[in-house]
Chain A
């Protein structure tokens, strides 16, 4: 998933307004932010697969995306925000772990239980619905951004000054990541 992760971050923000927005949005992408350097360093492996949805194969992503490491990274990220209070730290941890949860339906079984585990999870919508997955993720985006928008309208809300623009940006990111437009 991609833009759907941002929607999850915004939904968490709507629930825990005291959590810094930048921290939540960074958190929901944290596992992928780790993935990049891990691949460049040779710790993890991926291949570009033109013509085969979603256009790449994540051969070994255990250190960034396994269930165990997702929980470890979530705990470490939450700890970095401990000084902001338990609710904020918990929100940050949830933001990181939500990435694993939202990747589950999309990824083929490439999400290991732990590094080196032979058991891999993933419901594979990227493969089974080569264009339909985009609409599934759109539904996630509408739920997350919709909740964020609604909560931002409450009197006294200290976030969400421009929910329409936020929604537009997230939707544009989703369109840019569509099967019809994303780079091959």
Chain B
């Protein structure tokens, strides 16, 4: 590897993983409750 190659390798070594790690760090969204099929029960009479 040349000196220029080393310089580029070092820079890319830090730049490339940043977006991936930042994306993986995002908080998980809470799961939405699954809507039930069919008519929903009305209020008690």
Measuring CB to CB, which residues of chain A are less than 8 angstroms from any residue of chain B?
2, 5-6, 10, 13, 20-22, 25-26, 29, 32-33, 35-37, 39-40, 46-48, 56, 157-162, 165-166, 169-170, 173, 177, 183-184
Residue of B nearest to A156 (CB): B27
Taking the closest CB of chain A, its distance from the CB of B29, in whole angstroms, is 8
With a cutoff of 8 Å between Cβ atoms, the chain A residues found around residue B15 in the complex are: 26, 29, 33
Residue of A nearest to B2 (CB): A48
Taking the closest CB of chain B, its distance from the CB of A153, in whole angstroms, is 12
- A166/B3 in contact, CB under 8 A: no
The B interface is mostly helix, strand or loop, or mixed, namely helix
- A-B pair count, CB < 8 Å, reads 88
Give B1-45 interface residues, CB cut-off 8 Å to A.
Answer: 1-11, 13-15, 17-22, 24-28
- A166/B25 in contact, CB under 8 A: yes
A25 to B24, CA, bound (A): 12
The A interface is mostly helix, strand or loop, or mixed, namely helix
Beyond A6-B17, A22-B18, A56-B6, whether A33 also contacts B25 by CB under 8 A is no
With a cutoff of 8 Å between Cβ atoms, the chain B residues found around residue A40 in the complex are: 4, 7-8
